[in-house]
Amino acid sequence: YKKFSKILSDIGENEGGIDKFSRGYESFGIHRCADGGLYCKEWAPGAEGVFLTGDFNGWNPFSYPYKKLDYGKWELYIPPKQNKSVLVPHGSKLKVFITSKSGEILYRISPWAKYVAREGGNVNYDWICWDPEHPYKFKHSRPKKPKSVRIYESHVGISSHEGKIASYKHFTCNVLPRIKDLGYNCIQLMAIMEHAYYASFGYQITSFFAASSRYGTPEELKELVDTAHSMGITVLLDVVHSHASKNSEDGLNMFDGTDSCYFHSGPRGTHDLWDSKLFAYSNWEVLRFLLSNIRWWLEEYCFDGFRFDGVTSMLYHHHGMGQSFSGDYNEYFGLQVDEDALTYLMLANHLIHTLYPDSITIAEDVSGMPALCSPISQGGGGFDYRLAMAIPDKWIQLIKEFKDEDWNMGNIVYTLTNRRYLEKCIAYAESHDQALVGDKTLAFWLMDAEMYTNMSVLAPFTPVIDRGIQLHKMIRLITHALGGEGYLNFMGNEFGHPEWLDFPRKGNNESYHYARRQFHLTDDDLLRYKFLNNFDRDMNRLEERCGWLSAPQAFVSEKHEGNKIIAFERAGLLFIFNFHPNKSYTDYRVGTALPGKFKIVLDSDAAEYGGHQRLDHNTDFFSEALEHNGRHYSLLVYIPSRVALILQNVDLPN
């Protein structure tokens, strides 16, 4: 906190405050001046000379030299043409031409480039001047920060069922209405910051200020965000400030001919596992670059916050490699912590929440660093949420390694509730990580090859499909209700998407077959995918009505190993899960804090969810003053095998 305060005050002293400091994109890069001229600025401390070249000057490398300033900065002013016409028109190509101290000649893309594109069969990206005559104007205001966050993790490129790269337009017209209908109030957009290698899933960034051109234009991305806002949907950006692509032709690496411009020099600047470059977070200009990058996406594209990728890698010098993280405090507070990176994350959260108090920030941290989600004023990291990364691993482990009758109820509850008091977590049964090739989605773990042959409603249930469909719903609901203060689902997994995700690459002959989402399956009335989709939608809509995610943690009254029953209360609702593969219970006593009449409000066994309709929804359940499992009241319920139920007290005012 002391370090954070010191840097903040230094920024105030030397730069006129973080507000001014984080507007680097207003001066760096290239900018059209009011007089029609061009102002250009770069930071290249290792360069001997810097020049601007491109279509506009017939690619003459030396005709427009930059002037050297202090602290490794260079600037150039190009006066307007005599007829006042635009010197560098919209759509023309540019390059920064650098001569290094070692005599090398380098053609580079400005780190501040707003648009880069790959033309034809080119391997490298071109920097293209983006200055449209009619830039997109936002029509809708940002939605208020949701009390309960229900996130739909999305990738624009794979959002079509066709084997191709889908567009921003396609996502806006076809996927946004689905997200709204499913009851999600937040989208987390992946792979937006430009990355040269599509199969990196957007995690090897080459141009930090450019929205990926493979899906369309910057204006079309703005329209996507604006349309989501018109539906009341919050839009988060997956931001990758943990590392960068080691590309030098169209990335940041070796920008000025040295290995130490934006990154640490030598071995410290390379992430061995990811084969990528690591930022020098203590460097003044790197701080300006990254904080301005955050500001750019908030201001230019109206994003409502960020999911910070790879936070564990940032927090420690060991990057989390080979560490198991038992929870011992010595693992978090010692010389292994990268204080510069932690301070940068605090600065970023401070900036985001100062500019837009309704913004949301989420940390992808597997280590469990204490206080990461505490307010900065208390010495914390300032994040709003962290991802509950142990939960999906637990479900995969249970399905892979244990028979259904050997599932441990106490262990499930422990994994779902194991979080620090007042530390908000985003729970999820599976994200994009579990959907990737090499792993399998939950639906595929449960049903495997039978998904191709036995998902028709015209055929009778096979034991595999029946088990898969019932457990898929139960796993999602218990994760949603017990696992956190927010919920996340990866696109398509809500209806049990049948296949993993694999981007075109050499290993699969550059195929798009698995780089898509088959939404048409859930629209087909003759297939059982619609049942899982319906359940996901109604689960979210019920949460919207009752708000269990924003309610205090649940009180778990029962985790019975023999009966395979878990029961808990949250937000005035009574949740009951029977994980037993074949035992149903009549007149099963369940504890509750509330007297009065209860009704079923969600039942995974209902017909519209592909269940067996063993429960009568007209039944009234009355609790009596009979203490049970630490609750003052209790009621008797019929609980069929493999069923999740939610009961609501109807005597309470809604």
Cα–Cα distance between 629 and 649 in angstroms, integer?
19
Average pLDDT over residues 336-362: 98
Percent of residues, the chain, with pLDDT higher than 90: 91
Tokens 């790197």 belong to which residue? Answer: 286
Does the pLDDT value for residue 189 go beyond 90? yes
What pLDDT was estimated at residue 654?
56
**Which pLDDT tens digit goes with each residue over 560-589?**
999 999 999 999 999 999 999 999 999 999
**Which pLDDT tens digit goes with each residue over 295-323?**
999 999 999 999 999 999 999 999 999 99
Active site residues: 309, 364
The pLDDT confidence band at residue 341, using thresholds 50, 70 and 90, is very high
**Which pLDDT tens digit goes with each residue over 359-375?**
999 999 999 999 999 99
Q: Do 178 and 186 meet the contact criterion of CB atoms below 8 Å apart?
A: no
Average pLDDT over residues 329-358: 96
Least confident of 50-54, 234-238, 430-434: 430-434
What pLDDT was estimated at residue 36?
86
Does the pLDDT value for residue 537 go beyond 70? yes
What pLDDT was estimated at residue 651?
82
Cα–Cα distance between 106 and 47 in angstroms, integer?
10
| pTM score of the predicted model | 0.97
Higher pLDDT, 501 or 646: 646
Neighbours of 325 (CB within 10 A): 15
Output b/e per residue, 72-106; b: 16+ Cβ within 10 A. Answer: ebbebebebeeeeeebbeeeebbbbbbbbeeeeeb
Does the pLDDT value for residue 489 go beyond 80? yes
What pLDDT was estimated at residue 84?
79
φ, ψ for residue 246, nearest 5 deg: -85, 5
What pLDDT was estimated at residue 82?
84
What's CA 567's distance to the chain center, in Å?
31
What pLDDT was estimated at residue 348?
98
- Alpha helices in 95-243, H assignment, sequence order: 168-170, 176-181, 218-230
First to last CA, the chain: 43
Task: List the helix and strand counts (H, then E) for the chain.
Answer: 15, 29
Does the pLDDT value for residue 527 go beyond 80? yes
Beta bridge partners of 205: 195
Tokens 């391997």 belong to which residue? Answer: 123
Average pLDDT over residues 127-142: 96
Cα–Cα distance between 104 and 97 in angstroms, integer?
11
What pLDDT was estimated at residue 439?
75
Kindly report each contact of residues 456-462 with a partner whose C-beta sits within 8 Å and lies 24 or more positions away, as own/partner: 456/526, 456/527, 456/528, 457/525, 457/526, 457/527, 457/528, 458/526
Residues 6+ apart with CB under 8 A from 122: none
Average pLDDT over residues 611-618: 97
Cα–Cα distance between 416 and 424 in angstroms, integer?
13
What pLDDT was estimated at residue 81?
86
Q: Do 302 and 270 meet the contact criterion of CB atoms below 8 Å apart?
A: no
Q: Could you tell me how many residues make up the chain?
A: 654
Percent of residues, the chain, with pLDDT higher than 70: 99
| 212 secondary structure, DSSP code | P
Kindly report each contact of residues 133-140 with a partner whose C-beta sits within 8 Å and lies 24 or more positions away, as own/partner: 133/90, 135/219, 136/218, 136/219, 136/222, 136/223, 136/226, 138/222, 138/225, 138/226, 138/229, 138/302, 139/226, 139/230, 140/226, 140/227, 140/229, 140/230
Does the pLDDT value for residue 596 go beyond 80? yes
Nearest residue to 204 via CA among 284, 273, 147, 120: 273
Does the pLDDT value for residue 652 go beyond 80? no
C-alpha torsion angle, residues 307, 309, 315, 316 (rounded to 10): 160
Q: Do 40 and 52 meet the contact criterion of CB atoms below 8 Å apart?
A: yes
Select the highest-mean-pLDDT range: 223-227, 441-445, 502-506: 223-227
**Which pLDDT tens digit goes with each residue over 270-280?**
999 999 999 99
| 406 secondary structure, DSSP code | G
- Indicate the average pLDDT of the chain: 96
Does the pLDDT value for residue 438 go beyond 80? no
The pLDDT confidence band at residue 498, using thresholds 50, 70 and 90, is confident
Query: How far apart, in Å, are the Cα atoms of 617 and each of 65, 451, 584?
Result: 77, 30, 17
CA atoms within 13 A on the CB side of 514: 19
Average pLDDT over residues 233-249: 97
CA pseudo-torsion sign 511, 512, 514, 520: negative
What pLDDT was estimated at residue 152?
98
The pLDDT confidence band at residue 653, using thresholds 50, 70 and 90, is low
The pLDDT confidence band at residue 68, using thresholds 50, 70 and 90, is very high
Query: How far apart, in Å, are the Cα atoms of 112 and each of 139, 211, 314, 354, 369?
Result: 27, 12, 23, 24, 32
Nearest residue to 376 via CA among 343, 400, 406, 399: 343
Beta bridge partners of 128: 93
What pLDDT was estimated at residue 435?
76
- Given its phi and psi angles, is residue 162 left (phi above 0), alpha (psi -120 to 50 degrees) or beta? beta
